Amino acid sequence: MEEGVTDPPWLSLPAEVGSSIRPLISDIVELIIATIPRDVPVYAMPLEGRFGQGVRRGVSVALHRFLDLPGTRLPALSEEDIWVYERLGRGEVRSGRSLESLLAAYRAGARVTFRAISQALPLDRIEPEVLLALGESIFAYIDELSAVTAQGYASEQSERAGEYQRLRSELLDMILRGDASETGVARSAAAVGWVLPEVVVVATVPFPHVEGLRSALGPDVLVAERGTDVVVVQPFTPPKPRRRDLDRALTGRRAIVGPPRPLVKAAESLHLALAAGAHGLVDRDAPDADTAAPVWVCEHLAELVVRAEPLALADLAARVLAPLEQVRPSSRERLAETLLAWLRHHGQRGPIADELFVHPQTVGYRVAQLKELFGAALDDPEWRFELELVLRAGHR
């Protein structure tokens, strides 16, 4: 025997156990078939038709195999047995029953088998050690059988989950291709239990930050890989409840959420989310990125517009900010921030001071410098508009 390999408990059983019990297999099978519905309520149904045939076959295969084991080092299950019990596990998934129900049926069958074999053996010639080995063998055998069944159950669940996600990914792709008005989308949505919404938002999440994303978003949200990002399509019911849910699920994931669109125009929401990322609307390497809420493009449309043509914007910035070239870089930054606040708050000193965390007198001093540098340009509405554009885009 190989080192570290333990003898199976049935090795110590006399081989006659198998030969003496084999003629009783049909009776034991019927006892088990009668016991299972009583002990396991989920099977409280007539064991007939294909289901009943499957149960009888499983019980019969198990008993025949078990009676081959006494006095041997054979493994609990042959390759054919393994196939049978993996199929039983898979069948439970397809029938919508829990694995525990089937394992409980196995245990019930083990008890009936032990009782039937014990009663059939000549007790006056059986040592107590043999009965002990019999019980140990039966339940060790059931453990092996249960493990194979559980593997079949888990494999079926995994394959079904993979197929389910594949169908949801296909549905997402159809929506983003603009096929949402076609009957194929309705069929695909029905196949995965997804109710077609009237309005959606589309978000992007970079791959390093997608762990646990599906469970965080829930079944109402479609999720699929696309390029270097994961794309999310969420039904959008205004005004705020669904947004709060999405914010909570996407916080810390460097996500960008496109604006709401009718389902048939979901691709537009994705396009604007991707554009926001491409034009630097989100700094995914910022120090607070791990805790930051997602960026909603609908709140940054002006910035997206002005960043869409970076070369033209750079030329505009060089022209309208030229007066700041006259001051030191440290002063230039402070004056540019003050100028943006001045433009945003229409020259109101109090709100400007609050935004910049400075004293109103400091605001007055800086505004005086700006008027000296820019002169009459600050009175020109067109010039002020251009100044605010380039400053909001980050130019200094």
Whether the pLDDT of residue 2 is over 70: the answer is no
Domains annotated on the chain, with CATH: 9-160 (1.10.490.10), 197-306 (3.30.70), 310-392 (1.10.10)
Write the single-letter amino acid at 153: Y
The two structure tokens encoding residue 105: 């049926």
The two structure tokens encoding residue 396: 């200094």
Write the single-letter amino acid at 293: A
pLDDT at residue 54, as a whole number: 73
pLDDT at residue 314, as a whole number: 85
pLDDT at residue 1, as a whole number: 45
Give per-residue pLDDT as tens, 293-306: 899 998 888 778 77
What would the mean pLDDT of 315-328 be, rounded to a whole number?
Answer: 91
CB 222 within 8 A of CB 171: yes
Strands 256-257 vs 222-226: parallel, antiparallel or unpaired: unpaired
Distances (CA, A) of 163 to 61, 71, 168, 169, 289: 31, 45, 9, 10, 34
Query: What's the rounded Cα separation, in Å, for the pair 258 and 187?
Result: 26
pTM: 0.57
Lowest pLDDT segment from 35-39, 123-127, 378-382: 123-127
Question: At CA 204, angle to CA 200 and CA 207, rounded to 5?
Answer: 145
Give per-residue pLDDT as tens, 52-64: 677 778 888 889 9
3-state secondary structure (DSSP) of residue 353? helix
Query: What's the rounded Cα separation, in Å, for the pair 390 and 320?
Result: 8
**pLDDT higher at 393 or 275:** 275
pLDDT at residue 124, as a whole number: 63
Give per-residue pLDDT as tens, 198-227: 999 999 999 888 888 888 898 899 999 888
Q: Is the dihedral of CA 306, 312, 313, 317 positive or negative?
A: negative
Query: What's the rounded Cα separation, in Å, for the pair 113 and 107?
Result: 10
Distances (CA, A) of 36 to 128, 145, 236, 280, 346: 28, 17, 49, 65, 82
What would the mean pLDDT of 65-87 be, rounded to a whole number?
Answer: 90
Distances (CA, A) of 348 to 227, 343, 352: 47, 9, 6
Which is nearest to 277 in space by CA: 260, 261, 253?
Answer: 253
| Helices first, then strands: H and E counts in the chain | 16, 6
Lowest pLDDT segment from 155-169, 177-191, 244-258, 261-275: 177-191
pLDDT at residue 145, as a whole number: 92
Distances (CA, A) of 243 to 166, 214, 263: 26, 16, 17
pLDDT at residue 307, as a whole number: 76
Q: What is the mean pLDDT of the chain?
A: 87
**In the chain, pLDDT over 70 holds for what percent of residues?**
93
